[in-house]
Amino acid sequence: MRVLIVGCGYVGLPLGAELVKRGHAVFGLRRTAEGAEELQAAGLTPLVGDVTRPETLRALPGPFDWVVNTVSSSKGGAEVYRAVYVDGTRHLIEWLTATPPRKFVHTSSTSVYAQTDGSEVTETSSAQPTTDTSQLLVEAEDLLRKAAREEGFPAVVLRVAGIYGPERGFLFQQFLREEARLSGDGSRLLNMIHRDDVVSAIIAALERGKPGRTYNVTDNEPVSQRAFFEWLTDKLHKPMPPSADESGATRRKRAVTNKRVSNRRLREELAWTPSYPTFREGYAEDVRRNA
């Protein structure tokens, strides 16, 4: 297959490397030629383009059999979210309408679920986020589901949980620096996924995902903040992080959710199995290195 990875960063690059290993011809898109050697070293053909500038997409060497969208907001605010996710997705759909791929996989986020009661959340649960950034993620998803429904555009949406892995893992890094804080009593649930398992989920979606369908991508075990830190405390012999009571205003701003995201659909429909079923396997290597 000729594969285009739009946004070739923390997830996109190892995804590309894995697809190259499997014999595909893989192209990786970024906004600049910076880091092109990194892509070439992994066997990808580097391309320069910007989803916010549709003319740059039209100049790409298509057609492609598979397209994966793993661009991110690069930590930007609502304006960047709108440009990258909503406008960017619209530009990709419009550009690909002339020569549609066999499959288009889009990475969204489990932040679209605003539940705060610790309940189980599946793909049919309400996705009505309270922050404007997550609302824009839903808007982008809706464009893809509409294109799938009305135009047969072969889009699959993945809602990805908090990604950790080599050099990533915000709470873990904070814990190592002894700067982590428990929010309230620490009962809030964390939904996490190892980067390598995001890669395998994207490949499962490319190979077997149903157009128009949405899948959660998270590991098998949501864990409370407290249980996560207790495990790290035990393994790394560092103090348990103190509690920080957050004001209502802070909680609303950060949209602190509390939910148990289910990966059942991904496992059952796409026969996906995580290599790191829980944070314990996923962090084992980091723990060994830091013990």
Ligand X SMILES: NC(=O)c1ccc[n+]([C@@H]2O[C@H](COP(=O)([O-])OP(=O)(O)OC[C@H]3O[C@@H](n4cnc5c(N)ncnc54)[C@H](OP(=O)(O)O)[C@@H]3O)[C@@H](O)[C@H]2O)c1
Positions in the binding site for ligand X (CB under 6 A): 6-12, 29-32, 50-52, 70-72, 74, 84, 88, 107, 109, 160, 162-163
Distance CA 71, CA 29 (A): 9
Q: Cβ closer to ligand X: 75 or 237?
A: 75
Q: Cβ closer to ligand X: 32 or 247?
A: 32
Asked if 65 and 59 touch (Cβ cutoff 8 Å), the reply is: no
Residues with Cβ within 8 Å of 120's Cβ and at least 6 positions away in sequence, in order, are: 259, 260, 261, 262
Q: Cβ closer to ligand X: 10 or 240?
A: 10
Q: Cβ closer to ligand X: 50 or 245?
A: 50
Q: Cβ closer to ligand X: 130 or 243?
A: 130
Closest residue to ligand X in the complex (CB): 9
Q: How, if at all, do strands 182-183 and 243-244 pair?
A: parallel
Quote the least distance from Cβ 156 to ligand X, whole Å: 14
Q: Cβ closer to ligand X: 42 or 71?
A: 71
Distance CA 244, CA 257 (A): 16
Quote the least distance from Cβ 259 to ligand X, whole Å: 14
Phi/psi of residue 276, nearest 5 degrees: -120, 85
Quote the least distance from Cβ 248 to ligand X, whole Å: 25
Quote the least distance from Cβ 215 to ligand X, whole Å: 13
Distance CA 150, CA 97 (A): 12
Match 């907001």 to its residue by tokens. 73
- Residue 192: C-alpha distances to residues 102, 154, 164, 213, 274 (Å): 29, 27, 7, 21, 12
Asked if 134 and 160 touch (Cβ cutoff 8 Å), the reply is: no
Quote the least distance from Cβ 10 to ligand X, whole Å: 3
Quote the least distance from Cβ 164 to ligand X, whole Å: 8
Asked if 92 and 67 touch (Cβ cutoff 8 Å), the reply is: yes
